[in-house]
Structure 1
Amino acid sequence: MEENKDITIYDIASKLNLATSTISRALKDHHSISEKTIKKVKKTAEEMGYVPNTLAAGLRGNKTKTIGVLIPTVTQPFLSSLISGIEITAQKSGYNVIIMQSNDSYEAEVSMAKSLYGSRVSGVICSLAMKTTDTSHFHQFVGNNIPLVFVDRVPKDFNTFRVIIDNYAAGFKATEHLIEQGCTRIGHLTAGSKFGNLYTERMRGYTDALKKHNLPTDKELIVDLESVTYSEGVKASNKLLSLKTPPDGIFASGDIMAVSAIQSAKKKGMRVPEDIAIIGFNNDPISEIIDPNLSTITHPAAKMGQISAEIILKNIKSPKKEDVKEITFLNTEVLIRESSKRK
């Protein structure tokens, strides 16, 4: 397959009718070039798709055997397992992996996407930052035949590959499990307003499970966290447990939230699961350490990483030119442990 022609400073110079030396200096913010010219040169360079040659001259125009991975953080167990699945699969095919963390910053994600493009990666796997709503910074990959896969946190509408679980079905199963254990007033800890469709789909599953079993949806039982942290989980849990009629079950859309709910309930003298049954989401290692052990929903992170890498490798060899808005759904299961097991 013919490679896209690299844009050089000569192309920019020709377009702007300026000397190549002027273009070169402007791109380096040289003091001898006016601010107006620097802005004009950089704007034109970006529009034309110019990439500074940060690699050895012999690599010019070629993609490296490297897959770029852009994720919110490496500290979450789910994302660590995701990376592991990507790396094992990539290494088997002789590919290296570059990992970049956005720390849930949109601005950092934009900058890192540019950096990965400038490094001439062969493909990109991304789980979006929580503050990302505009995904136009990913068009540079698609527009230059660089395979792109979104995984777990994915945009609603982007013409590329997506690897996700069915968050709606998972939320439904978690809630229905609590109902089957005899819960009739079920609270929900979410982060839907901050983290987009991933959590809103879990909440939709929660509300539909209540409807199926003729249980009311009570807005005071749904608490939207500011961030998915233990301290925020404690605040949200205490809000639920301090209600005039507290819940007899809680579905938390993340294990760290569920752990905070267990500990908050115990501090109030409540028995788990006898007084309040609790289920989380992700099957993080902490779910088996907390007492009682936490019931949770499996989230096949390593498998999602493996499949994402396989899609990249397949499309490096045989790029798809047609509409590639393909979604790969992976199954989830309810892992029943002591925190919810009443029957």
Structure 2
Amino acid sequence: MKKHQVTIIDIAKELNLSKSTVSRVLTGHANVSIKTREAVLELAEKLDYQKNMLAIGLISKKTNTIGIIVPEFSSSYFPQIVIAAQEVATQAGYNTVFSQSNETYETEVANTKVMLANQVDGILISITRETRNYDHLKVFERKGIPIVFFNRVCDEMKVPKVIVDDFEGAFNAVDYLIKSGRKRIAHLAGPASLKISANRLEGYKSALRKNNMVIDEELIISYNLEVSKVKIYINHLLSLENPPDAIFAVNDPTAIEAIQIIKKKGLRIPEDIAIIGFSNDYASDLIAPSLTTVAQPISEIGSTAAQLLIEQINRDVSDWKAVTKVLKTELIIRNSS
């Protein structure tokens, strides 16, 4: 015979309490007497109660669950953000559900539908490289579910965002290369659809202008962040009549792949060509030579985004604040430059 799953209603009937009171106890709310809390928790343990967050949500209008959607898990960047965000959420009494979109718009849309079906109280998201339509995200606003963007953001939506100063980070990296004597600095840029790509490209160009160097469009290659394609672009740059003596990459995975390819060609790094990445991925200090990179405060991005989301959840919709937190980067000099 199938065992009956204990519900909030069972506990409420046994203790002669309202369902909402039991729900408040089981979701960690403070406005319940100590005596009632102890009675509910004792009975819940005795009956082997398992939380059904959707059932709780029907009663309290909240599930105490936060959704997190990231574009990929192939590097250490987004997992570190998720860990930091989850820690803040847990401390505040929230569960987290997360998914990755595999850098495809269709999967991102499907992920948001899953989050809605799970009745999340709010959502943290970094969009894919393909995302140009935001209707699936505006649904959350219409339903009164707060949303916070981080890293890759949507300017169309007036909601909280957590970003780093991509322009300044790129500027400092390229300025350092110039001051190190590099004359022809190439840039492997990200897709124009991503604001982080545009800001890093502009930082690259601004550093060249500041140092009275010509912006050579032949040395700028934008690509869709598929690392398997980096070999094509590196081969192209090295085959130029006047090849670059330095490369500034849009992110660390691109820079690390470039190092591997250039080493196989027998060129010396940094003697023949210097390389700088962006993000301070875990692998950047393990590769040989170690990668000079623009470090982002990754844990701070995750924790700040989670804090902003929880603040929004606890406010009335009319009091939502579309703040943008801009965090600083740091240039970490290693052996590749």
TM over 0.5: yes
57 and 287 in structure 1: CA distance in 2 versus 1, 3 angstrom threshold: closer
Partner of 1:101: 100
Q: Which residue is equivalent to 1:216?
A: 214
Q: Which amino acid aligns with 1:197?
A: K
Task: Give the corresponding residue for 2:128.
Answer: 129
Whether the 8 Å CA contact 2:191–2:224 is kept in 1: the answer is: no
Q: Is the 8 A contact 2:57 2:119 kept in 1?
A: no
**Where does residue 200 of structure 1 map in the other structure?**
198
Shift of the alpha carbon at 1:202?
0.3
Distance in 2 of aligned mates of 1:115 and 1:130: 20
For 2:285 and 2:292, the matched residues in 1 are separated by 9
**Quick one: distance in 2 between partners of 1:154 and 1:133?**
11
AA in 2 matched with 1:284: D
Displacement after TM superposition at 1:320 (Å)? 5.0
Shift of 1:203: 0.6
Query: How far apart, in 2, do the equivalents of 1:319 and 1:64 lie?
Result: 17
Instruction: In structure 2, give the amino acid aligned to 1:214.
Output: N
Identity %: 37
Asked if residue 240 in structure 1 is aligned to residue 245 in structure 2, the reply is no
User: Aligned-pair distance for 1:206?
Assistant: 0.3
Alpha-carbon distance in 1 for matches of 2:263, 2:106 = 41
Residue 112 of structure 1 and its aligned partner are, at CA, apart by 1.9
What residue is the counterpart of 1:163 in the other structure? 162
Query: Does 2:290 match 1:310?
Result: no
CA contact (8 A) 2:80 2:298 kept: yes
Structure 2 unaligned spans of 5+: 1-52
User: Does the 8 A contact of 1:124 with 1:147 survive in 2?
Assistant: yes
TM-score by length of 2: 0.80
Length-normalised TM-score, structure 1? 0.79
Distance 1:267 1:58 in 2: 57
Q: How does 1:247-326 map to 2 (within 5 A)?
A: 247-319=244-316, 321-322=318-319, 324-326=321-323
- Structure 1: gaps spanning 5 or more residues: 1-53
CA RMSD of aligned residues (A): 1.9
Alignment match, 2:24: none
Paired residue secondary structure (1:311): helix
Aligned to 2:114: 115
Aligned length, in residue pairs? 286
Amino acid at match of 2:329: T
Contact 2:225 2:254 in 1 (8 A): no
Instruction: Please name the residue that 2:15 is paired with.
Output: none
Which AA in structure 1 matches 2:182? C
* 1:331 alignment partner in structure 2: 328
Query: SS of 2:322's equivalent?
Result: coil
Query: Secondary structure in 2 aligned to 1:280?
Result: strand
After TM superposition, give the deviation of residue 157 of structure 1 in Å.
2.0
Equivalent residue, structure 2, for 1:14 = none
